[in-house]
Amino acid sequence: MYSLEGKKVWVAGHRGLVGSAVSRRLASENCEMVAVDRQAVDLTRQVEVEDFLAESRPDAIVIAAARVGGILANDTYPVDFLYENLMIETNIMKSAHETGVEKILFLGSSCIYPKMAAQPMREDSLLTGPLEPTNEAYAIAKIAGIRLAQAYRKQYGHDYISAMPTNLYGPGDNFDLNSSHVLPALIRKTHEAKRRGDEELVMWGTGTPRREFLHCDDCADALVFLLKSYSGHDHVNVGSGKDISILELTELVCKIVGFEGRIRHDLTKPDGMPRKLMDSTRLLDMGWKPTTALEDGIRSTYEWFKAREAEGLYQS
């Protein structure tokens, strides 16, 4: 067990969906939180990361900082997704090594697995086939992060571990229709369609792909669990163990939002991977399990979105 009591913990990316959830979860661990805004430290600049870690001296780091986005953003800006994520992870791990950080938890993504990986996706399916082309750049950067953490463990004996969360959602998510993931984008599109009185809601693709979703607070609980109890070479999947088709998800969001129009498919838009379900047996066998039902989580996320909209954060 790695005790967090009395330790200094830096959550890189503490304002993002995952990072903010991990920060909330760590509040009950009697540890000292280290935080820095991107305006003060650019994580893609090595010297800035080195200076920050030399001054702050955290005992543990959760690397939740990343350039993230949905299909459109990934497919449009591959250089940004590859370069920025490579720089963030390499700068933090190198500087952590030089300053004697005790433990690192690196966060990847389910997109690291091959497009046609056997379902549910086990950890050992990594690098067994071609990646999904629409988010290949992001996936390659995350795979490099996993391998870098393993390399530091092999060469220096450092306790660097990696976790691969499934699709996440919840308070603090990105609802920008140009860069968001499927669930927050769907919530906002459905909400705005209802408000305008639209007769139909347009969804991308066929609606047949299946996706797994995990509430960010469940993910944060799993990550703190791993930070305290896991020390191993292999990365660990973090998922709910249940998936749903995009069409079923759309119907569920329509029900929660109260949109009563019809759903129309835009078949000119890509589906992405046909199925993405994580095999989280390794994590579940350690004794962890999620607690938030999908419908409950979407409902609370929708309430959070409406509150932010009322504050003027989101404008149509």
The DSSP annotation for 151-187 comes to HHHHHH--EEEEEEE-EEESTT----TTT--HHHHHH
In terms of domains, do 103 and 195 share one? Answer: no
In terms of domains, do 106 and 190 share one? Answer: no
Residue 316: the pLDDT is: 53
Q: What is the mean pLDDT of residues 286-309?
A: 96
Please say if the pLDDT value at position 18 is more than 90. yes
In terms of domains, do 217 and 297 share one? Answer: no
14 is in an annotated binding site: yes
In terms of domains, do 143 and 227 share one? Answer: yes
d(CA 89, CA 110): 17
- pLDDT tens sequence across 251-274: 999 999 999 999 999 999 888 778
Please say if the pLDDT value at position 178 is more than 90. no
d(CA 264, CA 166): 27
In terms of domains, do 161 and 298 share one? Answer: no
Mode of pairing for the β-strands spanning 8-12 and 60-63? parallel
18 is in an annotated binding site: yes
Instruction: Kindly report the average pLDDT of the chain as a whole number.
Output: 94
Structural contact between residues 308 and 262, judged by C-beta atoms closer than 8 angstroms: no
CATH code, domain with 195:
3.90.25.10
d(CA 197, CA 124): 48
Residue 71: the pLDDT is: 75
Residue 75: the pLDDT is: 85
In terms of domains, do 190 and 301 share one? Answer: yes
Q: How confident is the model at residue 135 (pLDDT cuts 50, 70, 90)?
A: confident
In terms of domains, do 166 and 123 share one? Answer: yes
In terms of domains, do 195 and 93 share one? Answer: no
CATH code, domain with 113:
3.40.50.720
Mode of pairing for the β-strands spanning 236-238 and 159-165? parallel
Q: How many domains does the chain have?
A: 2
- pLDDT tens sequence across 141-170: 999 999 999 999 999 999 999 999 999 999
Residue 193 belongs to domain spanning: 182-208+244-276+293-308
138 as an active site residue: the answer is: yes
The answer to whether residue 284 is domain-embedded is no
Q: What is the mean pLDDT of residues 178-201?
A: 91
Q: How confident is the model at residue 96 (pLDDT cuts 50, 70, 90)?
A: very high
Distances (CA, A) of 307 to 22, 181, 217: 22, 20, 19
| Given 2, 77, 83, 138, the catalytic residue | 138
The answer to whether residue 50 is domain-embedded is yes
76 is in an annotated binding site: no
In terms of domains, do 220 and 301 share one? Answer: no
Residue 274: the pLDDT is: 81
Residue 182: the pLDDT is: 86
In terms of domains, do 40 and 61 share one? Answer: yes
165 is in an annotated binding site: yes
Residue 243's φ and ψ, nearest 5 degrees, are: -125, 170
